[in-house]
Amino acid sequence: MDSPPEEKGYKHITIIWEVNMKKTGSVLLTALLLTVFLAGCGGEQDASGSDRQEGGTGTTASGQLNLFTWEGMFPQELLDGFEEETGYRINYVNFDYDETMLAKLEASKGGDYDLVIADDYIIETVIAEELAQALDTSRIENYGNIDAVYQGQFYDPDDQYTVPFGAGVQTIVYDPAQVDITINGYADLWDESLADSIGIIANYRVIDGLALKVLGESYNTEDLDKIKEAGDLLKDLAPNIRLIKDDNLQDDLISGEVSAAVMYTSQVTTAKLANPDLEIVYPSEGIGFGIMAGFIPSDAPNADAAYAFLDYLLDAENAAAYFEYLGYYSTNVAANDYLSDDMKDLLTIPEGYATDMEMIQNIGSEAEQLHSTEWVEFKTAAGQ
C-alpha cells in the first residue's frame, strides 16, 4: 500500500499506496501516487488519449488490448511504441480505486479486461476469488528481468499470477536547512524541535504503522493492545503535525510549508528532483513497502495481447522509460542499467535496505477497526 491511486500518476496520486496512489504530483507521472499519480476516473481512453464512453465492455477483437488500471500510468510514447511494434490497439480503461476495479472484475466474472495493474492487497482478493489466471511464463521472454526482491510476496507467494510493475516505500524526507536535528528514523519525528512542521500522508495503516515500528512491532500485528499503544503514541506526535494529506504533499515540502514529511515514493522523487538538498531517510526501525502488479483476468477476451504487453513492459529499455515517468522503484533489474544518472538513486532501493522491508497486508476486521478508531482520534488531536 504505497499510495493512493491518485498518486500513481493520474490525477493521479491515489492510493496511491502511491495509493490509492495517484494524485501525488510526481514529476514523472503526473505521475502514487500514486499516486501519482492524477486523472479522471472510470472513463475509457484509447492509446492516443482520446476519451471513450464509459460503460461498454471490452471487445474480443484479436487486434485489441483491453488495459485496466489507473490513469496516467504510462508515457504516451510507450503506448504508441507497443501499438507500432505489435499491431495491437490499446483500449485504456481507468479506475479510481482498487476497490472499484475489484467490483467491476467481479461483475464481469473475470472478463472484459485483458490486463489489470493494481495494488498488492487487492490482488490477494482477486486471486482468492479465482478472478486471475495462472501465467504461462514461457510466453514472456523478458520474465527473467524481474527483480526477485519483489517476488514471492504475500499476495502471490509462488509468483503464479502476477508481474510486479513498480514498488513504493514510505520514507521520511526533510530539509536540513529548516531542521535542527539529524533525522534517522521514525522516532525522531517526536522531537520537540519539529513542532507544527511535519507533513504526513493520509494512509492510516502507514501512519499507525510507523508508531508500531517505533514500538518494535509489525505493521500487521493483530494484537489489539499493541495497536492501542501505537495510537496513544501517535497522539503524542500530534503537536508536531502541520498537514495530513495525500495530494501533492511534496509541494508543501518544496515550498517550506513543512520542513519534514512522510511521503509516497513518487512524491519523494518529485521533491528530490526539485530540491536536491533534501535528505531522504530510510527509517532505522524498518521500511514499509507496497507493490503494483499486473495480472491477466480469468476470462480475459484477449490474453495473447496481455502477454505481448507484459513482455513489452519487461523489456529493459521500455521498463526504464516507464519507471522514470512513474517515479516508483524499479522492479526490473535489467532496467536499472538504462535509468538516467539523476534518476537511478531515486528509483532503486539502496544496497542493504531490501532485507529491512515489510509489506503492509490485509488484517482482521477487529484490528482494522481499531486502527480506524485510533486514526480518527489522532487526526482530531492534530487539529485535522
Helix (H) or strand (E) holding 323: helix 316-326
Tell whether 32 and 157 lie within a shared domain.
Answer: yes
Query: Which residue, chain included where needed, has cell 514499509?
Result: 288
- DSSP code string of 87-110: -PEEEEEE-SSHHHHHHHHHHTTT
Query: Which region holds residue 10: left if phi is over 0, alpha if psi is between -120 and 50, else beta?
Result: alpha
Tell whether 133 and 281 lie within a shared domain.
Answer: no
Position 3 in a domain: no
Position 313 in a domain: yes
Q: Is 320 helix (H, G, I), strand (E, B) or coil?
A: helix
Q: Residue 143 has what pLDDT?
A: 98
The predicted model scores a pTM of 0.79
* pLDDT (tens digit per residue) in 332-364: 999 999 999 888 888 887 777 766 788 889 999
Tell whether 26 and 98 lie within a shared domain.
Answer: yes
Tell whether 116 and 213 lie within a shared domain.
Answer: no
Tell whether 29 and 129 lie within a shared domain.
Answer: yes
- Percentage above 90 pLDDT, the chain: 72
Q: What is the number of domains present in the chain? A: 2
Tell whether 348 and 276 lie within a shared domain.
Answer: no
Tell whether 251 and 207 lie within a shared domain.
Answer: yes
Q: Residue 286 has what pLDDT?
A: 87
Tell whether 23 and 141 lie within a shared domain.
Answer: yes
Instruction: Give 266's pLDDT tier (boundaries 50, 70, 90).
Output: confident
Tell whether 160 and 306 lie within a shared domain.
Answer: yes
Segments forming the whole domain that contains residue 117: 8-168+289-354
Q: Residue 14 has what pLDDT?
A: 32
What CATH number is attached to the domain comprising 253?
Answer: 3.40.190.10
Position 209 in a domain: yes
Position 1 in a domain: no
Position 215 in a domain: yes
Q: Residue 226 has what pLDDT?
A: 97
C-alpha grid cell, residue 20: 490509492
Tell whether 159 and 296 lie within a shared domain.
Answer: yes
Q: What is the mean pLDDT of the chain?
A: 85
Tell whether 23 and 128 lie within a shared domain.
Answer: yes
Tell whether 24 and 149 lie within a shared domain.
Answer: yes
Position 135 in a domain: yes
Instruction: Give 169's pLDDT tier (boundaries 50, 70, 90).
Output: confident
241-279 b/e (C-beta count within 10 Å ≥ 16 → b): bbbbebbbbbbbbbeeebbbbbbbbbbbbbbbbebeebe
Position 236 in a domain: yes
Q: Residue 287 has what pLDDT?
A: 85
pLDDT, average across residues 61-77: 90
* pLDDT (tens digit per residue) in 116-130: 999 999 999 999 999
Peptide bond into 15 cis (omega under 30): yes
Position 2 in a domain: no
* pLDDT (tens digit per residue) in 198-245: 999 998 999 999 999 999 999 999 999 999 999 999 999 999 999 999
